[in-house]
Amino acid sequence: MPNFVMAIHNDLGREGERLAKAYFEREGYEILDENWEFGKAEVDLIVYKDKIMVFVEVKTRSSNGFGNPEDFVDTAKQKQMEIASAEYIELMEHQNDIRFDVIAILFKKDKTYNLKHIEDAFWPED
């Protein structure tokens, strides 16, 4: 992928994460961490509300020509989030419920966007 295309893609992803963070703040969530990494695993946002720790994957696209943004949270990404979340839960000594959510953001040509919050988007396999 040419560098300028990668730069545009990265900018779109950062903008999506910024919008997701603002959304969670408006909804009364506490932002615990952003882009939290453990080894090769990363979680875009970790938020907290009503004693529930929520691990969030943010997917941002400029079109749905290849599918909706949420369609790109595949089983490999889910497994990575499971690994990272287990470490985070242990570090924070969290004893309450957890959830895995997806924020899907689709930008339109006029620069507006649709943001879809999918609660309990998946649950890691045992």
pTM: 0.89
Grouping H, G, I as helix, E, B as strand and the rest as coil, residue 7 is helix
Judge contact between 63 and 105, C-beta under 8 A: no
And the tokens for 42? 């990363």
* CATH class of the domain defined by 3-118: alpha beta
Q: Domain locations in the chain?
A: 3-118
pLDDT at 9 over 60: no
* pLDDT average, residue stretch 34-40: 94
- β partners of residue 101: 56
Give the confidence band of 124 by pLDDT, cuts at 50, 70, 90. Answer: confident
Q: What are the b/e assignments for 110-124, b being 16+ CB within 10 Å?
A: eeeeebeebeebbee
